[in-house]
Amino acid sequence: RLSSVNWGVVKEMVFTWIFTFPGCGLLGYLFALVFMKIF
C-alpha cells in the first residue's frame, strides 16, 4: 500500500543515490588530479 510508505525516508534515499554517483566521480577525478601533480 502506498499510504503505508514513509515518504520522508524514500525521498532521503533517492537524494542519497542521486548524490552518491556524481560525488564518487568528482572525488575520484580530484584525487587523480592531485596524484598527477604529486607524481
Q: Within 13 Å, how many C-alpha atoms sit on residue 30's CB side?
A: 6
Comparing C-alpha atoms, which of 29, 9, 5 is closest to residue 17? 9
- The type of residue at 13 is M
Q: What is the C-alpha separation between 24 and 9, in angstroms, rounded?
A: 22
Q: What is the C-alpha separation between 18 and 37, in angstroms, rounded?
A: 30
pLDDT tens figures, 1-39: 778 888 899 999 999 998 898 999 999 999 999 999 998
pLDDT of 19: 87
- The type of residue at 24 is C
Q: What is the DSSP letter of 5?
A: S
pLDDT of 37: 92
Q: Where are the domains of the chain?
A: 2-38
